[in-house]
Amino acid sequence: MSKQAIIFAIVLCLPVSNSQAAEWSGFAGLDTRFFTEPAAAATQNSSFADPSLMLQPEFRQEWSAGRDRFTAIPFARYDSLDTNRSHWDVREFNWLHKEDRFTVKAGVGKVFWGVTESRHLVDIVNQTDFVENLDSEEKLGQPMLNLDVPSDYGNFSLFYLPYFRERTFPAANGRLRFNLPVDVNTPEFHGVSRWHPDSAIRWSKTFGDWDVGVSNFYGLGREPRFAVHVPLLNNSIPIGAPTLSPVYDLIDQSSLDVQGAVGNWLFKLEAMTRSGQGHRFAALVSGFEYTQYGVLASSADLGWLMEYQYDGRDKSSPTALNPTAPPTYQDNNIFVGTRLTLNDTQNTQFLFGTSIQLNTQATLLSFEASRRLWDNWKVEIESRLFKNIPNTSILTGMSKDDYVQIRLIRFF
């Protein structure tokens, strides 16, 4: 994060007097990824194991009988192989003030929108921390001014987002990167700067067992497209390997998310339409989760998930090196999965999922499991497998990056 953004957050978030006791918490973790094959590119590190360390302390302090709260959550990771994955960020650094008729938050914050399991189409306020995980669930902190107004007609949220955060990407020597590495030092913004004033508005309301949200975002899109960059001498002689330059466009995105509970069924929908990256296009994720409670006469719950992903973005290119829309592999996919929750004192959980691209049969398999070991310790296992990846897919560079990750976490 830039110095200017940090100063913006600090100025807005200074606590006042009459404060209550401060609360400290957080966690530290050791990750190790084990890769089953050597890397696809010669520039990548082909080590079998990639250990890394992570740290996320959390500080909160309330005053004025809980009507004001200051939150600070920094994050840092050191990776032994990938220079870009060694990074730090301010996940949250904000002041929250509550009144009877509204709530205001100022500083750096995180906002999550969405209901589906396999893809979060409508979650657009925070930028994705792509070096942390491929599933786009890890987010960078976003400088913001947020006003929430609850009412009988629903909850209204307004956002002023004064500073743009660029997406993180693995380095040329890292794993789980695209066929060509992304040069994060050559971003393009098309006539605007990182200080472009983005804005968003959201309305949400519960109707019985159904939750509905409608949102609109205008500003620099968090999802970049890519242009191939070749270093040239005298504008004619190549002097280096080609890389991808991220291109961020001004977009206008409107979205809808719906979730409804009917007995053991949970129905989900996320849909959006976006302009600013080629022709205006629509995309959706829709499906269900069915839960069997107390399976095999135990306390465990077993959930079955299925979702369909559609994306109608423009895949044409005005030039060979300048596509009109960001690439995606989730444009005509079926996702199926199962979730097992043991409901034991160790909070043991398992999640297995498979996403299949119906046009090419490209398949991404994922597995996640977690279990508390003692009061302050937790172990997590994660795996990603890439199968039948065609040469035309954005995932081509990851076709040899099947891995198993073991994470040991200590809470404090």
Q: Is residue 34 over pLDDT 80?
A: yes
**What is the bridge-based pairing of β-strands 154-161 and 142-151?**
antiparallel
pLDDT tens, position by position, 129-167: 999 999 999 999 999 999 999 999 999 999 999 999 999
Q: Tokens at residue 387, please? A: 């199968």
- H or E element at residue 8: helix 3-12
Please say whether the beta carbons of 67 and 99 come within 8 A. yes
Q: Backbone dihedral region of 283: left (phi > 0), alpha (psi from -120 to 50 degrees) or beta?
A: beta
DSSP helix/strand/coil, 295: helix
Question: Cβ contacts of residue 12 below 8 Å, gap of 6+?
Answer: 94, 95, 106, 107, 145
Structure tokens at 336: 């199926």
User: Which tokens is 116 given?
Assistant: 């589906």
User: In CATH, what number does 3-411 get?
Assistant: 2.40.160.10
| pLDDT at residue 229, as a whole number | 82
| C-alpha 70 chain-centroid distance | 24
Tokens read off for 249: 């466009």
**What are the pLDDT digits (tens) for 239-292?**
778 899 999 999 999 999 999 999 999 999 999 999 999 899 999 999 999 999
CB-based contact 33:404 (threshold 8 Å): yes
Are the beta carbons of 349 and 343 closer than 8 angstroms?
no
| Residue 73 zone, left/alpha/beta (φ > 0; ψ -120 to 50; rest) | beta
Between CA 5 and CA 229 the distance in angstroms is: 29
Q: What's the pLDDT score for residue 10? A: 46
pLDDT given for residue 91 in this prediction = 98
Of 189, 191, 185, give the one whose Cα is nearest residue 243. 185
Mean pLDDT calculated for residue range 6-25: 60
Total residues belonging to the chain:
412
Q: Give me the mean pLDDT over the 302-313 stretch.
A: 97
> Mean pLDDT for the chain?
92
With beta carbons less than 8 A apart as the criterion, state whether 154 and 121 touch.
Answer: no
Q: What is the pLDDT of residue 8?
A: 46
Is the pLDDT at 77 greater than 80? The verdict is yes
* Nearest C-alpha neighbor of 207 from the set 255, 253, 254, 153: 153
The residues near 279 (Cβ < 8 Å, ≥ 6 apart) are: 314, 324
CA-CA distance, 134 to 365, in Å (whole number)? Answer: 12
